Every structure is written in structure tokens, then in C-alpha cells.
Amino acid sequence: MNRLTQNSATTQYRFNFLTPLYVLVFAAVALMALVPVAALVLGSLRDSPPGQPGNWTLDNWANLASPGVIDTLITTIQVACLTTFFAMILGTVLALIIHRTDFRWPNTMTGLLGLSFYFPSFILGMAWIVIGSPGGLINDLIRELFDTEANLDIYSVGGIVLVMVLHQVPFVYLTMRGPVLGMDPSYEEAARTSGASAFTMLRRVTLPMLSYALASSTLLCLVMSLEQFGIPVLLGIPGRVTVLATQIYLLCRFPPTAYGLAAAIGLTLAALTAIAILLQRRLARGGQAVATTGKAGRITPIRLGAWRWPANIFCGGYILMGLIFPTIILLYTSLIKFFTGNPLNASYTFRNYLSIWESEGTQLATLNTLLVSGGGALVGVMLGAACSYFTVRLKPTGHRILDMLVMLPFGVPGVVLGLGLLWAYAYLPLPLYGTMTLIVLAYVTRFLPYATETAGARFVQLDRSLEEAAWTAGASRQTGVWRIVLPLSLPSLQSGYFLLFMAFFREISATILIFTASTSVLSVSIWSYFEQADWGMASALSILAMVLMLGIMSALLWAMPGARKR
């Protein structure tokens, strides 16, 4: 029914509060998006740490060509490509098994994969270090049971790729699930009735039909791999496998520091991810109308037959390696006095948990985490909804620029954003360094697109005539938004809040460079324990954090029915 273009939306009104709101939102998003990037550029041209006196220099950019950085760049690309390759295959196969065949437990798998999605990356990394490091579980067990050295080393490219794949498979699954479910079944049915076997049909019809979704998902997966921080840093430093994110961290945390070089590297990494994202957006726009016709037909599931048990083992195997095993290991590690691979030999204790319970630092970190997640998500959703309303409905002058500004930080890796904020607030007069506001700012900047995409998708669906009916019935624009648009968008706003809350809770990379003792959050506390090689405390706090996260997740889903639709 939308037969008229957006001209009606640009009807000029005399003064109303939407105009100053637009200006405010535009300014806020512009600052949030541009300040860190601008600060990075400036910082890359300095030869001293942020806030210290120094000179302008081009050395940092010259040093990008040094063998060290080039090596790191190559490693980054290697790791990213390998991870993307395997994660895409595994994730897509999972999506096909669960939603295209007569696999027996689709709902269970979907739920478990959802849980795996929320498993924080660095905690997964930690668990696998306990499992696979030279002094870890597997090596210990093999030494004891078979009296030989297995020499398994998780501190390697292979190890990093393994854990990164485990972390990213749920993401691939989630992005491929929609297209797999939404495919028009008649194409496949035509193939089957023409005599194609299930495999042939998959190979020659299903996968080609999914090609746009696959390409789009691959690019997003690649971006995720390039941005990864927790896993490559935790597993890479001991084994001297360095990716760009690691290098930035090393240059900022350990003397001799080189913040300027870190800024230059950060911008390079951001450029890589930005290219991938631009490609993905172009692709996503082009391939809209292909396989999903919207006809929700009944799909005839593929009979697994002899492949049933391999499929079961595959699915179960992933859940085991990506969710259950790491959790059990962390639980185990948190309860033992001294590390040993043999649970029968270990002495058990609750002291780690008691320590945490009494620790003021941890209590503060927990409070901070809840504040940042709960309050920050609220700020994010409101800002995101406002941005979306302007870019999707009202479309005033400059809305396209606003749209770009919102998406800009999406391509910037978390650690790079953190570095940018570090540089920015060393110089800006605002007393934000060392405050919770800075952390919230970092998180909201990074994840704003989550909120705008969920709210925006809903605003687009809302028939314009629903708002126009309000106007012709005597409601001003503002009243129309308050009484009609917002109530009807509530489920999407709830969904956005949930996404943001979960993302903020798990986040480590954007915080790791800008936190202080008083603004520490749970993820940073866990990280710190691990850096001090206090595996027991790190594991215990991880378990507590995950229990807390699960609890809050359930509470949110119960309180906000709209967030359940994912």
C-alpha cells in the first residue's frame, strides 16, 4: 500500500521537538563514530604515548613495512582465512542437518547452539588452554596413562584456528539458518522428482541457491575472525603467534610501549575489516530476491538413513567440544588445589569461590558489569531506535550520512576502538578517562548497529498508514511516535535490548585498554587472573560469570517476550 515515495515523510513542519532531537542524535553519533577514528589517525602520527609531550612523526607508518608487522599481517590473514573456511563448512553443515533433514533433535540443538553463541570467546580460549597447553589436561593425561609425551600445543596457529572455529560456528549457523529455512521448497522438489539423489540435490540445487547467503555469511565470518581478540591473544602470546590484534595489545600493555605504532596498525586492521564489510553490504543488497520467495512451503526433510549416526556424532561432537567440555574443565579447574590432569589424583577445594565471594574487587567488577550492561544497553537501544526512526521513516536531510556514521564503527575491531578512545580522551577536555561513561560509550559505539538493525527492520515493516491515521485523527508527530510507533515496535526494541545486554556483558576487547581499577568489569577481572597464571581463580570467576549470565538471560527472556523471537 506504500504507493507514495518518502516525499510525504519529508513534510516540513514548523518547530517541533523532533528537529532538535535529530540534531542531537546526529551530533552524538557523529562524535561517537568519528572521534576514535580521528584520534587514531592523530595518534599514529605521534611518537609518544597519549597525553605525553612528543613530536609529530611518520615513523609509525613507515614501520608498518617492517618485517615484524608484515609477518603479523600474513599470520592474521592466514588465521582468518583458515578459521572462516572451517567455520563456514561446519556451520553450514549444522544448519543443513538441523533444518533440512529428519535429524531427531532440532530444537535441542538450536537451543544448545544458542547457548554456545553466548559463550564468551576468551573464556573458551582459557578453557582450551587448560585442555590443550603443554602443561594442560591432555598432555598430562597422556603422560600418566601412556607414559609418552604427546606434545600437543594449543599455543599454535592450529590451536588458535581450532578454538576460533569453535567460537564462530554458532554465528555461521545463525546466519545460515534463516536462508536455509526460508528456501522455496519447490526448487528442491523439482530436483528430486527429476531423479536427483539427496546429495546431488544438495550439491546442485540447495547450495547454489544459498550462494548469496553463503557469500554474505563468509564475509561476516571473515570480519569476525579479523577482529578476534581474546582467543588469538591468550593462545598466541605464549606460542609467539601474533596477529594484528595481539600486536596492538602487546604494544600498549607491555614496555617498551608504542602507542603510535599501535594506532597505525589499528587503522590498518580497521581498513581490512571495513573492506570486507563494504563487500558484504553490496552483496546483501544484490542478492535479496533470490531463493526466499516468502512462500512458507512444507519442506520434505532429507532422510538421513545411514548417515544418521555420523550426523548425530557431528552435532554432538560440536556441542561437546564447544560447550560442554570447556565448561566441565573450567568447573574442574576451579575446584582443584593444584593442577593435575587426573581427576582422581586431585585434591578439591572451594577456596577459589570463597576468595571471589569476599573480594571487593570482584564485587565492584560485578556491579560495574551489571550497570554497564543494563544501563548501557538501554542507552544503546534508545539511541538506536531514534537513529533508525530518522534514517528509515522520517528521512530528513543528511539521513544517509547518519546511516553511514552508525555503521562506521561496526568495522572497527574492539581493541582498535579502545585504543582510539584512549588516544581521544588523553587530549579531549572531557573528564571521561577512568569513568564508567567511557566504557559505556565504547560499548554503545561498537554495538549501535545491533540496535539500529533490529529497530530499523521493524520500522520498515510498520505500514505508514498506521502513523498517518494518527496524524489525521489529531495526533502530532511526537504523539504519533509515542502512542503508535513505539508500542508497536516494543518486541523489536526488547530484542535489541537483549542483544545489546548480552554483547556488553561478554565484551573484553573494547575495554581492555581503557579500564581502570574502579571501572573494571567481570571480563577484565577474569582476564587479569589469567594473565597472572591464577587458573583456579580465573576458572572460578568464569563459572560464576557464566552462571550470572545464564540467570540474567533467563530473566530477560521471561520479562520481555519480544526478545524471544530470534
Question: What's the rounded Cα separation, in Å, for the pair 514 and 442?
Answer: 9
DSSP string, 347-411: -B--HHHHHHHH-HHHHHHHHHHHHHHHHHHHHHHHHHHHHHIIIIII--TTHHHHHHHHHGGGG
Instruction: Work out how close the CB of 442 gets to other proteins at its nearest, in angstroms, rounded to a whole number.
Output: 36
Binding test (CB under 8 A) with other proteins, winner from 29, 241, 448, 470: 470
Mutual angle of helices 67-100 and 106-118, in 10-degree steps: 160
According to CB under 8 A, which residues from 6 to 35 bind other proteins? Answer: 7-8, 11-14
From 5-13, 204-212, 333-341, 554-562, give the range in contact with other proteins by CB under 8 A. 5-13
Stretch that binds other proteins, among 38-46, 354-362, 367-375, 474-482 (CB under 8 A): 474-482
The distance of Cα 494 from the centroid of its chain, to the nearest Å, equals 18
d(CA 419, CA 165): 26
CA atoms within 13 A on the CB side of 532: 10
**193 contributes a contact to other proteins by CB under 8 A:** no
Nearest approach in angstroms of CB 467 to other proteins is 9
Among 479, 516, 518, 554, binds other proteins (CB under 8 A): 479
The greatest distance separating any two alpha carbons of the chain, rounded to the nearest whole angstrom, comes to 84
**Interface with other proteins (CB under 8 A), residue from 24, 320, 466, 547:** 466
Smaller CB separation from other proteins, 16 or 52 = 16
**How many residues interact with other proteins (rule CB under 8 A)?**
28
Rg over alpha carbons for the chain, rounded to the nearest Å, is: 25
Distance CA 157, CA 278 (A): 28
CB of 286 to other proteins, least distance (A): 24
Which CB atom, from 12 or from 107, has the smaller least distance to other proteins? 12
In the bound state with other proteins, the residue whose beta carbon lies nearer, of 214 and 493, is 493
End-to-end, the C-alpha distance of the chain in Å comes to: 27
Nearest approach, Cβ of residue 495 and other proteins (Å)? 17
For residue 256, say if its preceding peptide bond is cis, omega within 30 degrees of 0: yes
Nearer residue to other proteins within complex by CB, 14 or 298: 14
| Alpha-carbon gap, residue 162 to 87, rounded angstroms | 9
Give me the least distance between CB of 181 and other proteins, in Å please. Answer: 25
- Cα–Cα distance, 269 to 304 (Å, whole number): 43
Least distance CB 361 / other proteins (angstroms): 46
Q: Which of 85, 187, 314, 471 binds other proteins (CB under 8 A)?
A: 471
Binding mask 390-429 for other proteins (x = CB under 8 A): ----------------------------------------
Measured from the CB of residue 481, what is the shortest distance to other proteins in angstroms?
Answer: 13
Alpha-carbon span 510 to 515, nearest angstrom: 9
Q: How far is the CB of 23 from other proteins (least distance, A)?
A: 20
Binding segment for other proteins (CB under 8 A), chosen from 26-34, 220-228, 366-374, 463-471, is 463-471
Residue 463 engages other proteins in binding (rule: CB under 8 A) = yes
For residue 30, the Cα-to-chain-centroid distance in whole angstroms is 22
- Residue 484 touching other proteins (CB under 8 A): yes
Q: By CB under 8 A, is residue 465 in contact with other proteins?
A: yes
Nearer to other proteins, 478 or 554 (CB): 478
DSSP 74-120: HHHHHHHHHHHHHHHHHHHHHHHHHHHB--S-HHHHHHHHHHHHHS-
CA distance linking residue 86 with residue 99, whole number of Å:
20
Cα separation, 343 vs 333, in Å, equals 10
Least spacing, CB of residue 501 vs other proteins, in Å: 24
- Residue whose C-alpha cell is 583458515: 82
Which residue carries 565504547 as its cell?
Answer: 442
**Cβ neighbour number for residue 553 with a 10 Å cutoff:** 18
Contact 107, 98 (CB under 8 A): no
In the complex, minimum distance from the CB of residue 472 to other proteins, in angstroms, rounded to a whole number: 4
Q: Which of 23, 62, 271, 473 binds other proteins (CB under 8 A)?
A: 473
Rounded least distance, CB 15 to other proteins, Å: 11
Sign of CA dihedral 232, 162, 551, 338: negative
Q: Which of 360, 472, 533, 565 binds other proteins (CB under 8 A)?
A: 472
> Out of 77, 152, 475, 548, which residue is the one contacting other proteins (CB under 8 A)?
475
Q: For residues 92 and 210, what is the distance between their CA atoms, to the nearest angstrom?
A: 10
Alpha helices in 431-485 (DSSP H): 436-461, 464-472, 477-480
Residue 118 or 471 with smaller CB distance to other proteins: 471
DSSP β-bridge partners for residue 56? 46
CA 463/CA 75 separation, integer angstroms: 49
DSSP secondary structure, 471-525, as one string: HHTT--HHHHIIIIIHHHHHHHHHHHHHHHHHHHHH--TTTTTT--GGG--HHHH
Q: Give the residue, chosen from 81, 476, 534, 557, that forms a contact with other proteins under the rule CB under 8 A.
A: 476
Residue of the chain from 289, 474, 517, 533 that contacts other proteins (CB under 8 A):
474
Instruction: Write out the three cell numbers for 24.
Output: 542531537
Q: Quick check: 371 and 526 in contact, CB under 8 A? A: no
Among 68, 468, 558, 559, binds other proteins (CB under 8 A): 468
In the complex, minimum distance from the CB of residue 332 to other proteins, in angstroms, rounded to a whole number: 50
When asked if residue 460 is in the footprint of other proteins (CB under 8 A), the reply is: no
Min separation Cβ 13 and other proteins, Å: 6
Identified binder of other proteins from the candidate list 256, 487, 533, 565, rule CB under 8 A = 487
Per DSSP, 257 falls in state P
Shortest Cβ distance from residue 565 to other proteins (Å)?
16
Q: Contact positions toward other proteins, by CB under 8 A?
A: 1, 3-5, 7-8, 11-14, 463, 465-466, 468-477, 479, 483-484, 487-488
